[in-house]
Structure 1
């Protein structure tokens, strides 16, 4: 760490301000005067990460992508209830859209926190940094098993909450290590073949799926194997129904949420009872082709909230998947208690509601 001379705005005197020297997820060395008080984020799920380590995460924002769909309607409502000013903050492009240099410069954040999957180019980063705004690239979603921990550490350093970031990461690591030890003792032949259908039932054509990375890595970690990882080289894409049937997975997991209600897909999460979610899952699993899978015929049918899956709270998904894939090995896991602990011990804005379900009562 080095120090920079900075002008005190109250009396014009020169003070020494610390500067953070960071290496971001792209391997870039970035100097950020810090800790900072105003950041721009291109993914609303960074609000969840900030909520883990700061009591008032919205107070840290100068701009965000207004991609409230990634939080879910109820999740967004919870943030708005705590901080109504969130709705009026300047908007920048989300990581799912074309990168917009001008909107970031106009927001004048202390630092722009961008997602590795945003597609931002080196030339665009240079333009933002040329305007005096450091750019830090993080990743909570594309390769979470490798990138989530260092990304949260960096975020903690940026906002002066390093201790809180370390505390959460220790909590997560303890649980992940316990799962990894048991999975290491499983024979390779007991690795469970899984079909995870993302945004299940959202369109008439089959089927959205994670490819390499992301949720496929979670399933591999807990002793499973997602069939999408064998067919899709990118992080997500579509599988055809014939391929799914030919692989005949032993476990079927649907992801969905309130955003699929209008399209007749799988709904789960706040605003839906466990019985509502179970009936929705039953409908999705009864579709042509899917109903004939061994997983469905034998009742190994599960549903998980897409918002909670693609989340810095991934330990909840990891524990839930472990319990579904190897129920005898992980009979003692209680992901509902883990989420309750996250709510009481870490999260400034809690996650309330039923976020996963199976067809078994």
Structure 2
């Protein structure tokens, strides 16, 4: 009998232990499920908290949007969007104008598709620059907002009325004007739409501080005749005369830092090729050839993530060897340099401004390292690692 009672007591103990184990396991599972639910809810908070706000875009248009925007179609300035809104914000992008990135800046596109899930599979709504833009495709994506550059908005034509009739808010930004005011306004505007005002403000203040520093250094430079600068797009090789720029892009940046841009006196349109005889007659002090990572441009000056100094110099050197060019002041003094074309009209163009100013006023910018500045920008604001060659003088 005693043995029977002992066995029964043992079974009771085992059963109690099993129940306690079961309870503990159940509690752990419940806690895990609750934690997962909380994490999931936190991830959805920007969507849950979206509310209508009214923003004023760079054209002075008042636009009502849901902020943070939950469904975004992006027409350009993809890397600016990434820096301002953060890489996770791409989960809220439902369509892009693919040509403006994959076609114009193939090297950059390749890097970003490696780190942003689903980027390469996003629907393409067409591009205003080549008249392939489709309002119908945008409307079908049911976006909360379409973000366009000013030149994209100006090219919409009848599509603007279609978007308005469908209730698609269009917010216009503008880095192309290359003014401090527009850069800052566009950055803060994207921040407001995406619910990233703090990050946008950090970027706006950084940009203003860097530009202010460039201009202050130039103001301290000795007052001499403004150096003459010839600018050319190095997309098709030295055998082809590429576009120069008057009042815009690289031409504007040259005049901003106090240089004489040759195209300002010889071009009647914002861009186009200068007569080779004009360049020889003007005898520039500096030559800027814009390079990049264009697709299907084998003769281009190669810059960007996939380039290096040796490749950049090898593709830049043929320009200095053009007929008559060895006698130019810029070539004799080894003042021929290249900058990645994609750095123009961006939130990182202050690094290009620094590099141009450093060529024109080396003493005032001796302690400025544009490449290090661009590296820091990547580390702070972009999901892709810095690498490659973005600025280079032909002189080692």
- Same fold judged by TM-score > 0.5? yes
**Aligned partners of 1:47 and 1:57 also within 8 Å:** no
Aligned residues: 345
Seen in structure 2, the aligned counterparts of structure 1 residues 158 and 235 have a Cα distance that, compared at 3 Å, is farther
Secondary structure of the residue aligned to 1:77 is helix
Q: 1:193 aligns with which of 216, 220, 228?
A: 228
Secondary structure of the residue aligned to 1:253 is strand
Q: Which has the larger radius of gyration?
A: 2
**Aligned partners of 1:30 and 1:134 also within 8 Å:** yes
Question: Are positions 1:62 and 2:97 aligned together?
Answer: no
| Cα separation, 1, equivalents of 2:49 and 2:334 | 64
**Aligned partners of 1:111 and 1:133 also within 8 Å:** yes
Secondary structure of the residue aligned to 1:102 is helix
| Cα separation, 2, equivalents of 1:120 and 1:252 | 33
TM-score normalised over the length of structure 1: 0.88
Seen in structure 2, the aligned counterparts of structure 1 residues 34 and 152 have a Cα distance that, compared at 3 Å, is same
Q: 1:219 is matched with which residue? A: 254
Root mean square deviation of aligned Cα: 2.3
Question: Are positions 1:113 and 2:147 aligned together?
Answer: yes
Once the 2 structures are TM-superposed, how far is the Cα of residue 17 of structure 1 from its aligned partner?
A: 5.8
Unaligned runs of 5+ in 1: 1-14
| Cα separation, 2, equivalents of 1:235 and 1:62 | 34
| Cα separation, 2, equivalents of 1:21 and 1:130 | 19
Unaligned runs of 5+ in 2: 1-47
| Structure richer in helix, relative to its length | 2
Seen in structure 2, the aligned counterparts of structure 1 residues 115 and 205 have a Cα distance that, compared at 3 Å, is same
Q: 1:342 is matched with which residue? A: 377
Q: 2:16 is matched with which residue? A: none
TM-score normalised over the length of structure 2: 0.80
| Structure richer in strand, relative to its length | 1
Q: Deviations over 1:230-273 (max 9, x none)?
A: 33344322222122222221100111123277441211222222
Seen in structure 2, the aligned counterparts of structure 1 residues 97 and 357 have a Cα distance that, compared at 3 Å, is same
Question: Are positions 1:30 and 2:63 aligned together?
Answer: yes
Q: Deviations over 1:179-215 (max 9, x none)?
A: 1112224466342211111135447442311221222
Q: 1:273 aligns with which of 304, 308, 312?
A: 308
| Cα separation, 2, equivalents of 1:70 and 1:97 | 12
